[in-house]
A and B are shown apart, each in its own frame.
Chain A
Amino acid sequence: MSLIKCEGLVKKYGNMTALSDFSIEIPEGRIIGILGPNGSGKTTFIKSLCGILRPEAGTIRIDGKEVGIESKKVVSYLPERPYFSSAVRVKDTLDFFEDFYGDFDRKTALHMLSTLQIDLKSKIGSLSKGTREKLQLVLVMSRKAKVYLLDEPMGGVDPAARDFILKTILTNYSEDASVLLSTHLISDVEKVLDDVVFIKRGRLALHKSVDEIRMEEKKSVDTLFREVFAC
């Protein structure tokens, strides 16, 4: 059974179509890059999976469940923006995740935070943008979820932080889970991806494993992306 199954998704913003008859099946145990140019529908697709956008048509099933309370229990989502109030402290964010997510592993989070030298007493407002992003990633990846949805996790962080983010993703997801990662920084993530999904104007343009692309097309994902989405 597919971990994620989407059929005929349609999402419009006014007269602009963000997703058009979008169907995809994603198995478990994969790290999948959701790739496409700006406005192609990557974020819309991810938001639809986690339930903060409602598509006009189509169905979504995650681990066999429709998007709702039960699916949210197994989905760990990292949005492209900071979502904690600047007035709260780092410790409060850990308490919050522990309270609401039964699969949150506080020990893992504490270990990663100490590695990053993030003080639990610090207020979110006092952290730099990059540190806030790392904190959110730590919280999201400290859950033992089945699906990790990471929307632009490396946008706006330095190369050293990108390596930390990739390492965190690789070391924290379990074999029966899948990670969906949307990004523009293809060359950075290519080495960790199992599959790639290209989205072009709201439609599925390609869904292949990275090995297949290398074997059949004799190209890197980055090169293929530049060819498919050439302006």
Chain B
Amino acid sequence: MLRKLIHYDSKVQIRFLCGVYAVEALLAVLSGIFLGLKNQFPDVVIFVLMSGFARAICVLSVVVVFVGTIIYVVAYFRRNLLRDEGYLMHTLPVSPLQLYGSKLLTGTVFVYLSVFVGYLCFGIGNLRFRYSVLEEILKDTADRKTFLLMVITFLVVVPLLLCQFYSSLVLGYTWKMHSANPVNRDLLSVLAYIITYMVQQALAFVGLFGYFVIRFGNPLESGFLERVASLAGKGVSVQKEMVSYVQGILWVSLTLSVICGAVLFALSVYQLNRNLNLE
């Protein structure tokens, strides 16, 4: 059944997103054409102006499509599970885990896809796909490891971000009312988002502080600054020490993202299972 849900969710969302990606690609091609013309005829003012304008629009479209995809998949989740379409979805012989899981999986894939399409369009619009900064990073083993960790962190952060939005909506829409006058469910969802966000920030602070203490010892004890300085003076270069420190932070944020995502996922499925109230 999960496979069928994924198929259905993908089909509905791709109909809209395909159109958006097509417009993005068209703008990228236009930008590429004008850039090519500008390179060919650098003295023609109209090509110089049009190239600058088209590139700006191309870059803007990449950002808009990325942010727009996140907004669209979150709006789709709300519409499909918590509004009128929920009357159909929640009466299907499937579990809330499958309903939520399918939305999370397809939403994540579409956000990744928007990044991939954005990369391609950016390349087409600028007539190049190789970036020297990236090549420099990939040459060095330590930098390559950090870059890889950053990519993995991004891949994990996307579903976590969606989990945050989805879970806030679920919490807002399953919030128990203690008054006969109904409160706007979307406002409750915003409140739930603020609360979950603050809890996550507090956890991130504790996690990073804990990492700092493990790495450099208790900052309240005497000789803390000397300990930090001595690490740099042990024959290891400061740059390598910094790289190792950044990698440590990435590992901490990666672990916290996985934990927070899992908790939000479990909480949402529990709420959909036990406290669903489509009014």
A206 at the interface (CB under 8 A from B): no
Contact with A along B128-140 (1 / 0, CB 8 A): 0000000000000
Partner of A81, one of B4, B84, B91, B182: B84
A83 near B15 (CB under 8 angstroms)? Answer: no
Instruction: Indicate whether A54 sits within 8 Å of B85 (C-beta atoms), given known contacts A15-B178, A16-B180.
Output: no
Instruction: Indicate whether A83 sits within 8 Å of B84 (C-beta atoms), given known contacts A72-B91, A88-B12.
Output: yes
Instruction: Indicate whether A96 sits within 8 Å of B278 (C-beta atoms), given known contacts A13-B177, A79-B87, A83-B87.
Output: no
Chain B interface helix/strand/loop/mixed = loop
B1 at the interface (CB under 8 A from A): yes
Listed stretches A28-36, A44-52, A113-121, A217-225; interface member: A44-52
Instruction: Indicate whether A84 sits within 8 Å of B180 (C-beta atoms), given known contacts A52-B276, A54-B277.
Output: no
Question: Which residue from chain A places its CB closest to the CB of B272 in the assembled complex?
Answer: A54
Chain A interface helix/strand/loop/mixed = loop
How many angstroms from the CA of A70 to the CA of B1 in the assembled complex?
Answer: 13
Centre residue among B4, B79, B84, B274 by max chain A CB count within 10 A: B84
Chain A residues lying within 8 Å of B4, measured Cβ to Cβ, are 99-100
A87 at the interface (CB under 8 A from B): yes
Partner of A15, one of B7, B86, B180, B277: B180
B8 at the interface (CB under 8 A from A): yes
How many angstroms from the CA of A105 to the CA of B15 in the assembled complex?
Answer: 27
B278 near A53 (CB under 8 angstroms)? Answer: yes
Contact with B along A74-104 (1 / 0, CB 8 A): 0101010111110110000000100111000
Partner of B278, one of A52, A75, A82, A100: A52
> Which residues of chain A from 121 to 176 have a CB within 8 Å of any chain B CB?
none
B88 at the interface (CB under 8 A from A): yes
B93 at the interface (CB under 8 A from A): yes
B276 near A85 (CB under 8 angstroms)? Answer: no
A231 at the interface (CB under 8 A from B): no
How many angstroms from the CA of A85 to the CA of B180 in the assembled complex?
Answer: 30
A-B contacts counted at CB < 8 A amount to 72
Centre residue among A52, A82, A96 by max chain B CB count within 10 A: A52
The count of residues in chain A whose C-beta lies closer than 8 Å to any C-beta of chain B is: 29
B277 near A53 (CB under 8 angstroms)? Answer: yes
Smallest CB–CB gap between B228 and chain A, Å?
54
Question: Which residue from chain B places its CB closest to the CB of A96 in the assembled complex?
Answer: B8
A208 at the interface (CB under 8 A from B): no
How many angstroms from the CA of A43 to the CA of B77 in the assembled complex?
Answer: 25
A69 near B94 (CB under 8 angstroms)? Answer: yes
Partner of A51, one of B8, B90, B178: B90
A214 at the interface (CB under 8 A from B): no
Chain B residues lying within 8 Å of A14, measured Cβ to Cβ, are 177-182
Contact with A along B1-39 (1 / 0, CB 8 A): 100100110001001000000000000000000000000
Smallest CB–CB gap between B100 and chain A, Å?
14
B1 near A100 (CB under 8 angstroms)? Answer: yes
How many angstroms from the CA of A13 to the CA of B181 in the assembled complex?
Answer: 9
A85 near B90 (CB under 8 angstroms)? Answer: no
A73 at the interface (CB under 8 A from B): yes
> Which residues of chain B from 264 to 279 have a CB within 8 Å of any chain A CB?
274-279
B93 near A69 (CB under 8 angstroms)? Answer: yes
B232 at the interface (CB under 8 A from A): no
Chain B residues engaging chain A, CB cutoff 8 angstroms: 1, 4, 7-8, 12, 15, 79, 84-88, 90-95, 177-182, 274-279
Chain A residues engaging chain B, CB cutoff 8 angstroms: 13-16, 47, 50-54, 68-70, 72-73, 75, 77, 79, 81-85, 87-88, 96, 99-101
Provide 5 A-B residue pairs closer than 8 Å at the C-beta atoms, listed in order of the A residue.
A13-B182, A13-B279, A15-B180, A47-B278, A72-B92
Besides the contacts A47-B278, A52-B91, A88-B12, what 9 more A-B pairs have beta carbons closer than 8 Å? A14-B182, A53-B277, A69-B95, A72-B93, A82-B84, A99-B4, A99-B8, A100-B4, A100-B93
